[in-house]
Amino acid sequence: MTSTRTAVIALLERYFELSAARAAEVLQQLRSHHPEAWIYPATVEAIYQGRYRWVSIAQILALWQRRGQINCHFSADYERLLLGEVPEQPDRITVETRLPAIAMTLPWVPEQPGEAFVPAQDQSGLTERLYKTLVKAGSDRTD
């Protein structure tokens, strides 16, 4: 589970804002109570559901244990996005290859015409950068 362990710790650091030492402690605690093979999919599932507290992983694992099976809702493409393996984009827009999944959730749509863009609160500022990239790409079009 070395590479899976590394992936879980990386996801815990990135999406759950835990230090490497704390992430390792959380992983050890989860491993002591739940099947080891379920921890990585539960971590991805928590991120997919927008639940960014490590307790959410434990709750998902407890639910899966009661049911006796894993119940993932995310796709393999979503998992690749989390790990930074984004395929080449066929259009002219260049997107950062290490997009956090949070930027791919809900697009911002103005409620009133002319409403100013107010990006959703995220720690990376990626939502705002993605929006600016899309606006620039749209203004470059010569339709």
Within a 10 A sphere around the Cβ of 124, how many other Cβ atoms? 14
Are 13 and 23 contacting, i.e. CB atoms less than 8 angstroms apart? yes
Burial of 118 (0-12, 13-18, 19+ CB in 10 A): exposed
How many residues can be counted in the chain? Answer: 143
Give the C-alpha distances (Å, rounded to integers) separating 22 from 12, 26, 110, 136. 9, 6, 39, 40
Give SS3 for 141: coil
**Mean pLDDT of the region 85-105:** 47
Instruction: Quote the DSSP letter at residue 130.
Output: H
56 compared with 96, residue with greater pLDDT: 56
pLDDT score recorded for residue 86: 42
Asked whether residue 49 carries a pLDDT value surpassing 50, the answer given is: yes
pTM across the whole model? 0.57
If pLDDT is split at 50, 70 and 90, which confidence band does 115 have?
A: low
pLDDT score recorded for residue 92: 44
Q: Which of 34-43, 66-75, 87-96, 134-143 has the lowest mean pLDDT?
A: 87-96
If pLDDT is split at 50, 70 and 90, which confidence band does 109 have?
A: low
Q: Which of 46-55, 59-68, 122-131 has the lowest mean pLDDT?
A: 122-131
**Mean pLDDT of the region 59-82:** 90
pLDDT score recorded for residue 138: 63
